């Protein structure tokens, strides 16, 4: 039997996730909570869609002038006393980080949450030179103890329930801790306090980098990033090259969009703006500060008409919470650092070797919920379709799927063929429908019906119901006031293709 470590395809990993009752319940519970929180926060905001559009315009403008704003940011940051480095590849970013750690003779590094360092597998690299890397975000700390990777962009341990967390923390504590969230959080808080005080280096990611002043901004809810950026004497920030925004005024829009989209909060609990190392007048802060700006495949998306908008992503995770596939299988099934709809597009886009990752574009129902949820309106569903097409064009598709799609196109291209197939389907399903659904676990239905029931075709199709409705409407018109009738008739005629705005 395959295990999480040996499963090599999305399908195998998804199957493991679907068989894991704890994981499914935990992921469903939290994504629903986050999704509802976001829905409420965006409704209360009042003109959410206008702000989404503002966010999108800021990101489009910044990415279109990325070289200009990166240059401005780097110059300003250097003027503030920060050492700015550019890393083209993952290996370069790792090398730069390790060189700093070695020069500082560091024994331990405390880290606040950073997806870029996950992308670089930096913890492992630090440990290979004898430097202890300690995650200080509660979720990251939990999965570090479990020896796992994050399964959600903002809730890394979303797949674990509090009983599993209590087991992990009890092992660390050497005593049994009750599965009570305040007891568990209290244990971690005490444990991490010691680590903050001992650490030689603080390492962070970066939510936004402000070009006009060379500042970096961190959003967090636990206060751990403040400890990471104030206690150790040296600070290293690793940021994806697309994290830039032009000004503090633009941050206002992002600070409105990001927390609401991520967790439904109107404001993040702690928002820290950091502009250089400690000055003489400052009570705390690092004496030495480095920013490593990481490309690692991002520039492959620049100028690409299909993928450039990926660089607009502000890593809020809303598309994961909205995605019906992610909500069933969690993040590990995607196999890369980034999961959910954004991961299904970003992972192949960041890789030169798409063949290895082309399957994850299939882990989507193409319903467009990710686009609806996205605060900067990234058309992820279009990108997923493009990836599927590219997979076929590059010869990675399978013959059965190709034949199936050709058949689907032939049927959907003709209303007669479609109606004929529906009739045939209604006759055929009589053999397999039980209790209102198809439960057969054979052939192409096996995967779907193992975990759910395929609904049967209704007695009357939408088209048939629509026809009846139209007849009734025509009949009912006779009873109407002549003026209303002539207007309604115009609509019905429009439906017939004789004019008007028909939707037939």
Minimum CB distance to ligand SF4, residue 207 (Å): 12
- Chain centroid to Cα 232, Å, comes to 31
Q: Give the DSSP letter string of 365-418.
A: ---SHHHHH-TT---HHHHHHHHHHHHHHTT-S-HHHHHHHHHHHHHHT-HHHH
Gap between the terminal Cα atoms of the chain: 51
Minimum CB distance to ligand SF4, residue 499 (Å): 41
Nearest residue (CB) to ligand SF4, 188 versus 209: 209
Q: Where are the beta strands (DSSP E) in 211-265?
A: 215-220, 234-240, 244-245
Nearest residue (CB) to ligand SF4, 234 versus 337: 337
Minimum CB distance to ligand SF4, residue 372 (Å): 10
Minimum CB distance to ligand SF4, residue 160 (Å): 21
Phi, psi of 213 (to 5 degrees): -120, 0
Nearest residue (CB) to ligand SF4, 236 versus 376: 376
DSSP secondary structure letter of residue 299 = G
* Nearest-5° Cα angle at 94, 92 to 100: 105
Nearest residue (CB) to ligand SF4, 17 versus 314: 314
Nearest residue (CB) to ligand SF4, 27 versus 177: 27
Contact positions vs ligand SF4 (CB under 6 A): 153, 261, 313-319, 342, 373-376, 378, 380
Residues in the chain: 504
* Distance from C-alpha of 209 to C-alpha of 102, rounded to nearest angstrom: 27
Nearest residue (CB) to ligand SF4, 203 versus 314: 314
C-alpha to C-alpha distances, 167 to 5, 178, 238, nearest whole angstrom: 21, 9, 32
* Distance from C-alpha of 475 to C-alpha of 482, rounded to nearest angstrom: 14
Q: Say how many CA atoms lie within 13 Å of 504 toward its Cβ.
A: 15
* Distance from C-alpha of 163 to C-alpha of 167, rounded to nearest angstrom: 6
> What residues are paired with 270 via a beta bridge?
220
Asked whether 245 and 239 are in contact (CB, 8 A), the reply is no
Minimum CB distance to ligand SF4, residue 61 (Å): 16
Helix (H, G, I), strand (E, B) or coil at 270: strand
Nearest residue (CB) to ligand SF4, 286 versus 343: 343
Minimum CB distance to ligand SF4, residue 370 (Å): 6
Minimum CB distance to ligand SF4, residue 58 (Å): 12
Nearest residue (CB) to ligand SF4, 77 versus 378: 378
Nearest residue (CB) to ligand SF4, 122 versus 374: 374
Nearest residue (CB) to ligand SF4, 125 versus 309: 309
Asked whether 289 and 81 are in contact (CB, 8 A), the reply is yes
Minimum CB distance to ligand SF4, residue 7 (Å): 25
Nearest residue (CB) to ligand SF4, 56 versus 328: 56
* Distance from C-alpha of 252 to C-alpha of 55, rounded to nearest angstrom: 10
Minimum CB distance to ligand SF4, residue 260 (Å): 11
Sign of CA dihedral 358, 360, 363, 368: negative
Minimum CB distance to ligand SF4, residue 118 (Å): 15
Q: Give the DSSP letter string of 53-65.
A: HHHHHHHHHHHHT
Minimum CB distance to ligand SF4, residue 369 (Å): 10
């Amino acid at each position: 039997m395959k295990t999480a470590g040996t499963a090599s395809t999305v399908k195998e990993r998804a199957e493991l996730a679907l068989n894991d009752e704890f994981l499914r319940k935990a992921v469903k519970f939290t994504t629903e909570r986050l999704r509802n929180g976001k829905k409420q926060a965006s409704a209360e905001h009042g003109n959410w869609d206008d702000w989404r559009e503002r966010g999108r315009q800021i990101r489009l403008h910044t990415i279109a002038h990325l070289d200009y704003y990166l240059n401005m940011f780097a110059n300003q940051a250097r003027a503030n006393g920060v050492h700015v480095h550019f890393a083209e590849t993952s290996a370069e970013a790792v090398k730069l980080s390790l060189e700093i750690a070695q020069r500082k003779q560091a024994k331990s590094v405390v880290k606040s949450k950073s997806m870029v360092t996950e992308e670089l597998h930096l913890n492992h690299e630090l440990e290979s030179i004898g430097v202890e890397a300690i995650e200080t975000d509660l979720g990251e700390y939990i999965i570090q103890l479990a020896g796992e990777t994050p399964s959600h962009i903002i809730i890394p341990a979303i797949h674990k329930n509090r009983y599993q967390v209590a087991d992990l923390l009890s092992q660390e504590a050497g005593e049994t801790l009750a599965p009570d969230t305040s007891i568990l959080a209290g244990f971690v808080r005490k444990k991490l306090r010691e680590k903050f005080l001992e650490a030689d280096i603080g390492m962070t990611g970066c939510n936004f980098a402000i070009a006009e002043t060379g500042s970096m901004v961190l959003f967090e809810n636990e206060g751990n990033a403040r400890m990471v950026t104030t206690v150790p004497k040296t600070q290293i920030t690793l940021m994806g090259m697309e994290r830039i925004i032009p000004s503090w005024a633009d941050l206002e829009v992002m600070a409105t969009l990001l927390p609401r989209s991520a967790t439904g909060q109107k404001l993040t609990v702690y928002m820290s703006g950091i502009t250089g190392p400690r000055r003489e007048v400052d009570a705390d802060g690092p004496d030495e500060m480095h920013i490593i700006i990481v490309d690692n495949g991002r520039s492959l998306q620049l100028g690409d008409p299909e993928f450039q908008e990926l660089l607009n992503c502000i890593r809020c995770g809303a598309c994961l919470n909205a995605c019906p596939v992610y909500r069933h299988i969690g993040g590990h099934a995607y196999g890369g650092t980034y999961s959910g709809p954004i991961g299904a597009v970003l992972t192949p886009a960041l890789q030169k070797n798409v063949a290895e990752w082309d399957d994850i574009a299939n882990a989507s129902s193409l319903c467009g919920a990710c686009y609806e949820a996205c605060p900067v309106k990234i058309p992820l569903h279009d990108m997923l379709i493009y990836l599927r097409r590219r997979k076929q064009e590059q010869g990675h598709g399978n013959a059965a799927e190709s034949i199936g799609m050709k058949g689907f196109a032939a049927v959907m291209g003709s209303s007669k063929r479609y109606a004929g197939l529906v009739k045939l389907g209604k006759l055929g399903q009589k053999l397999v429908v039980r209790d209102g659904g198809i439960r057969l676990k054979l052939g192409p239905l096996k995967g779907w019906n193992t975990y759910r029931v395929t609904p049967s075709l209704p007695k009357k199709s939408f088209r048939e119901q629509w026809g009846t409705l139209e007849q009734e409407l025509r009949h009912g018109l006779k009873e109407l006031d002549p003026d209303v009738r002539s207007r309604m008739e115009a609509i019905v005629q429009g439906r017939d293709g004789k004019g008007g705005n028909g939707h037939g």
